[in-house]
Amino acid sequence: MPKPVSRILVINDEHLVLREFVKGLNAAARSLDNPLGVTFSGVTTAKEALAAIEADGDIQAVLVDDTLYTLGKHNGSRQLQVSALDLVQRITRFRPELSVYILIAQEKEDDVVDALFTEAVDGYFYREERDYRGIYRILNAQIQERAKTPFYDQLKNYVWMAKDQWHTPGHSSGESLRGSPWVNDFYDFMGEHVFDADLSVSVPMLDSLMDPKGVIAEAQHMAAQAFGARRTFFATNGTSTANKVIFQTLLAPGEKLLLDRNCHKSVHHGVVLSGAHPVYLDSALNRKYGLYGPVPKKTVLQAIRKHPDAEALILTSCTYDGLRYDLGPIVEAAHAKNIKVIVDEAWYGFARFHPEFRPTALEAGADYATQSTHKVLSAFSQASMIHVNDPDFREHLFRENFNMHTSTSPQYGLIASLDVARKQAVMEGYKLLSRTLALAKELRAQINSTGVFRSLELEDLLPEELRHDGIRLDPTKVTVDISGCGYTVDDLQKVLFERFNIQTEKSTFNTLTLLLTVGTTRSKVSRLYDALMRIAREKRAPRRLVRTPEIPAFTKLRYLPRDAFYCGGELVPVLDDKERVNKALARRVCADQIVPYPPGIPVLVPGQLITRDIAEYLASLLRSQKRMEIHGVVYEGYQPCVRVLRVEEEKGLRPLG
């Protein structure tokens, strides 16, 4: 098993002193207990320090002497100097997860300690004391503290205690399966710890997700520190539930919410549950590739100006395709009107741990961020985090809503995986993400070298209206133009799966998107490259690719989505007996959310007016040869129908102005 390596960088501008410190500290590390493999190395200038921190992902802490450092040449002549605190700021801006200690002279104690209070500094030592063993012990303890997994450790402890179970779950540590001639294979396949770590809320040692005061509270607190939040909550039903919990906390029925129409369907479900009055913002469309991008900054800022009475704004950043907003100015404009900002970071949970991806939503000032830790870090599916930085956070209300959506029997393996994913992100996130970024760069170049496939860059992905919005691309989401390969996208996915054992993430009619994560390896990259190269060499003539029709523009919201959804309604067929568009659908009000998938954007939401264009759009999807999921369409026998409000039901509702 690989052993941890923890390097501590000592920064001191005097060569001799530095050498003595590094020698003394390494001797202490060798002679004392050292489970994390701590070693010390030294540099004398700020430039070297920053370069080492950038290059060496095993650096876990820095010990900075409080002096002036040279950073490099200024205006080609004079040396630029920075103070220790300035250097610390640069270091923590680059890698906020690092522990930082300062070496000070005793006589400067008051000044330095005052300054430290405002900085991300963990502590200080007196330079003159040269207490190497003491310094080592403290630094080592600090790294061990960050590497703790309070919930996971307790779960293991409990499992090893092997208590007799007189409680749920029914499989009782897998006993019900292990001896069974019928289902013991399931036990063997899943592995013993899946069962013995599947425990019940009846075990007080394991704390309660609904009222955390012990190891879950501790694990959540450590996650908050790691992700730069005031508070963090573990969600065991994905970001889908996380979004709903926040909506129900922030929005009372009838209160306004500004939202990207392209938000995930959980956001639209949250609108129904909370009773919010949604104001939909249209996302920009890249017509060439059928990709829906962020909402233009102008549109968001206009909406904020036009609806200063809105309670909240929610945006997705980054999007599925890796496009991320320049959030700072948007958050600032929203906060100026007292509008809370929620950012759905389902695809961006790792961003805090590499400067290439920052600022995160919280760093840009967002009040809430929801992250599918399971999508991009090492947590189990459904394990997500809700980060809160809202200065007006109403904890009691949040707790009520959180508990409303949380099973009273949460899966403890999921909670442990969140604890472990946080530890990994803090201890080796920078290193793994540096590798992922390098692999993404390599893969992009390899894809382009096939001469047939092309990886799309920011300029290719951005629709015209977003060009000046400061949008950036997360390079670990690789969208590939497949239009020259001679296959339709469905056929290409089939070939990749059947011939080359490769399953991709998502597609449009002429693109495939590949997701690189901290789990992507070089051999996986080579296998994909090999497959694409072989397909390219087959030199097929390009196929005509059929565009998915564009989603019609939003029409009008007649009633609150919640009011419309809870009407009984009636089913109206989309097509008539002759397979023509049913004229009776136009002018009616939809009671459900109708979502063609992909791209997953609702064509209709509850309360929305159906027009002839929309009816025609739905009919064209239903008639098309390409099998497409259309969530919300109901079949009465063979007839696809949409649930709409009855005329008398409409009379009982208050129309929106």
Ligand X SMILES: Cc1ncc(COP(=O)(O)O)c(C=O)c1O
Binding site for ligand X (CB under 6 A): 238-240, 264, 266, 316, 320, 344, 346, 372, 384
Cβ distance to ligand X smaller for residue 239 or 299: 239
Shortest CB 384 distance to ligand X, Å: 5
Residue (376 or 528) nearer to ligand X, CB: 376
Which residue, 371 or 493, has its beta carbon nearer to ligand X? 371
Q: How far is 525 from 439, CA to CA, in rounded Å?
A: 7
**Least Å distance between CB 240 and ligand X?**
3
DSSP string, 430-463: HHHHHHHHHHHHHHHHHHHHTSS-EE--HHHHS-
Tell the smallest beta-carbon distance from residue 600 to ligand X (Å).
8
What element of type H or E holds 473?
strand 472-473
- Maximum C-alpha span of the chain: 92
In the complex, minimum distance from the CB of residue 190 to ligand X, in angstroms, rounded to a whole number: 22
Distance CA 435, CA 138 (A): 30
* Nearest-angstrom CA–CA distance, 462 and 321: 11
Assess contact for 84 and 90: CB atoms under 8 A.
Answer: no
CB of 342 to ligand X, least distance (A): 11
Residue with smaller CB distance to ligand X, 244 or 340: 244
- Closest CB to ligand X among 50 and 314? 314
Q: Which is nearer to ligand X, 299 or 372 (CB)?
A: 372
Cβ atoms of 347 and 375 closer than 8 Å: yes
Which is closer to ligand X, CB of 238 or CB of 606?
238
CB of 537 to ligand X, least distance (A): 35
Nearest to ligand X of 239, 608 (CB atom):
239
Min dist CB 545 to ligand X, Å, is 24
Q: Which residue has the tokens 């979502």?
A: 595
Q: Which two tokens stand for residue 239?
A: 């970001």
Whole-angstrom Cα distance, residue 168 to residue 4? 37
For residue 349, the minimal CB distance to ligand X (Å) is 10
How far are the Cα atoms of 6, 37, 167, 588 from residue 58, in angstroms, in the given order? 6, 10, 44, 62
Instruction: For ligand X, give the closer residue by CB, 140 or 406.
Output: 406
Which C-beta is closer to ligand X: that of 60 or that of 316? 316
Per-residue HEC secondary structure of 320-384 comes to: CCCEECCHHHHHHHHHHCCCEEEEECCCCCCHHHCHHHCCCCCCCCCCEEEECHHHHCCCCCCCE
| Least distance from ligand X to the Cβ atom of residue 452, Å | 29
Is-contact 344 243, C-beta < 8 A? yes
Nearest to 263 by CA among 643, 602, 607: 602
Provide, rounded to whole angstroms, the least separation between the CB of residue 345 and ligand X.
Answer: 8
Contacts of 9 (CB under 8 A, 6+ apart): 40, 41, 42, 43, 49, 52, 53, 56, 59, 61, 62, 63
Q: How far is CA 597 from CA 187, 513, 594, in A?
A: 35, 15, 10
Residue nearest to ligand X (CB): 238
CB 82 within 8 A of CB 46: yes
